A and B are shown apart, each in its own frame.
Chain A
Amino acid sequence: MMQVSNPLLSVAHLSMRFGGLVAVDDLSFDVGRGDITALIGPNGAGKTTVFNCLTGFYKPSQGRIALSHATSAARDIDVLTTSGQRHTRDVFLLERMADFEITRTARVARTFQNIRLFSGMTVLENLIVAQHLTLMRASGVGGLLGLLGAKSYRDAERAAIARAQHWLERINLVDRADDPAGDLPYGDQRRLEIARAMCTNPILLCLDEPAAGLNPRESAQLTQLLRSIRDEDGTSILLIEHDMSVVMDISDHIIVLDYGAKIADGTPQSIRSDPKVIAAYLGVADEEEVRAVSQEISTGLAP
């Protein structure tokens, strides 16, 4: 396991069982603060299940998922774990929290493998819904301030639109702000979903196959966007991805899953040459094929 000092997210002994099927088996890993971490592995390895556990859509059968906003000692997490509480101001035990609380208070946002935009709402509305909580607070008790059109609410709405516009500029979609999200081309929808997640102001952004179905030009745009999110917004990223060129290009840290268990964990350089990874991707241990695949991975092409 790659040593991450003062991790943002620390997953320990995570297991998820559906009836008799073990989708995730005693998985432990850390996500570094300010890193782009990639979770890779063959189809069916349990990557999306890990995401669903992290973001509260599934309740894990076992394990602890701790997120710490400030640099906190491991001791804080242990104290919280034994206290039976769900979170303190800085430390959050995600396995105990409901899905919407995870986004709201623990500030973990996510996207989905099959894009889940509000396709009947405009691009702008999608980004405004993501700022629901701020706007709800501004609209007062029972929405009365908003209903009466109070100035404080209108200011909050203007700020929300400004924030949305900022993100529209970053993903080059200002011109399409008033079009339905369902009308956008696929690549734009992917980027809009990321922008929408960013509008919730997350500290950790989980992306489920953000490059799937993108052409090389769009992939390059995506890489740039993710880098800027890491460097300018200070949001750490955890991503699932099959496109090896993207993964090898932007990741600071890679975790490899197979059959729900971790088989490798390290820097892109170390993963690239790990025979277990190559075997897992290939499914066989034929020397020659392994070599061929390792060649492919190291030259940065998709397997």
Chain B
Amino acid sequence: MDVFLQQLVNGLTLGSIYGLIAIGYTMVFGIIGMVNFAHGDVFMLSAMIALILYMALTMFLGLSSLPLIFILVLVGTMVITGLWNWTIERVAYRPLRGSFRLAPLISAIGMSIFLSNLVQIVQGPRNKAAPEFLSGLFHFGPAGADVTVSLKQILIMCVTLSLLGLFWFIVQKTALGRAQRACAQDQRMAALLGIDVDRTISLTFVIGAALAAVAGVLFMIYYGVVNFSDGFIPGVKAFTAAVLGGIGSLPGAVLGGLLIGLIETFWAAYFSSDYKDVAAFSILAITLIFMPSGLLGRPDVEKV
């Protein structure tokens, strides 16, 4: 019971991070039908930026108030990562919109290679170990169990929940959200109705990147280590989450993220940590083969 509850907490923490990244995949796929291969690397980039900002705030400005540092790092990373993804869309994807189907995919793979190598060159290939940001543990135990929850985990879940709430509001209630849904349905018709399709797509990339940046900040705080090659595996897992939840569906992405986080943690706890990545990839394959529309996605009927 102890182990189970403990892994539940750990799994949900990890799952929150995957869920945040997964939204970026699912939104971009929903609106332009493209798997944004570089998204995992955008996440890695954001974690690196977060670490640099954190160091800069503490070293150069000498800030010591943790909440203030956290908010500044979070907002700064979201803005800068958003700008990065905006530029990536503008440079590497927009010229290819409506062209040959494989072209944007290859371009995205190229972008992914570019980003990870850029970070490797400008920041060096070694692991960057961040200083402890937040320590402190809580013990709680329903029915005599002893489960440890760290302050970091509480922070991660609170931030994820509140930002998801904000994001949900934007997508459901604002004009931007409506424009996004219209573009996802039919871009040409949306354009005819006076929606600025280019701008909507750009904003989608910015929002996706901002959420990935939140994940990056939390990742940096939780693991305390960032490396230029950290984009690929979390990227693929988050994509798995998006597919599992039903690609194109926003609640699906979050649900899928939590499930992947839980499966991975439980797998590592009860079976073997060697094969935890195999488990994630297998779920990806199995879901796509047997349930291509995922848990919450709409089934796709073949048009004859």
Contacts and interface: CB of A to CB of B under 8 A. Distances in A.
Complex A–B touching at CB under 8 A: yes
Interface of A: 18, 48, 52, 57-58, 112
Contacts of B301: 18
Contacts of A18: 301
Contacts of A57: 302, 304
B100 to A, nearest CB: 12
Nearest to A18: B301
Nearest to B304: A57
A58 B303 CA distance: 10
A52 B302 CA distance: 11
A163 B301 CA distance: 36
Contacts of A48: 304
Interface in B259-304: 301-302, 304
A254 B232 CA distance: 61
Contacts of B304: 48, 52, 57-58, 112
Interface in B59-97: none
7 contacts: A18-B301, A48-B304, A52-B304, A57-B302, A57-B304, A58-B304, A112-B304
A125 B304 CA distance: 22
B101 to A, nearest CB: 14
Nearest to A55: B304
A287 to B, nearest CB: 39
A171 B93 CA distance: 44
Of all A-B residue pairs in the complex, the 7 with the closest CB atoms, nearest first, are A57-B304, A52-B304, A112-B304, A18-B301, A48-B304, A58-B304, A57-B302
Contacts of A58: 304
A48 B304 CA distance: 9
B63 to A, nearest CB: 58
A58 B301 CA distance: 10
A52 B303 CA distance: 10
A196 B10 CA distance: 61
Contacts of B302: 57
Nearest to B299: A19
A182 to B, nearest CB: 15
A48 to B, nearest CB: 8
A135 B302 CA distance: 29
A112 B301 CA distance: 17
A52 B301 CA distance: 13
A175 B36 CA distance: 46
A22 to B, nearest CB: 15
A17 B301 CA distance: 13
Nearest to A99: B304
B284 to A, nearest CB: 27
A159 B26 CA distance: 52
A83 to B, nearest CB: 30
B148 to A, nearest CB: 48
A18 B304 CA distance: 14
Nearest to B302: A57
A212 to B, nearest CB: 16
A275 B230 CA distance: 72
A32 to B, nearest CB: 26
Interface string B1-19: 0000000000000000000
B295 to A, nearest CB: 18
A53 B21 CA distance: 42
B99 to A, nearest CB: 16
B279 to A, nearest CB: 34
Contacts of A112: 304
A209 to B, nearest CB: 13
A58 B302 CA distance: 10
Interface in B90-123: none
A57 B301 CA distance: 11
A197 to B, nearest CB: 15
Interface in B163-205: none
A112 B302 CA distance: 14
Nearest to A51: B304
A80 B236 CA distance: 51
B265 to A, nearest CB: 37
A98 to B, nearest CB: 14
Nearest to B301: A18
A39 to B, nearest CB: 16
B301 to A, nearest CB: 7
A18 B301 CA distance: 10
Interface in B33-75: none
A52 B304 CA distance: 8
B293 to A, nearest CB: 13
A48 B302 CA distance: 14
B219 to A, nearest CB: 41
Nearest to A49: B304
A168 B302 CA distance: 32
Interface string B139-154: 0000000000000000
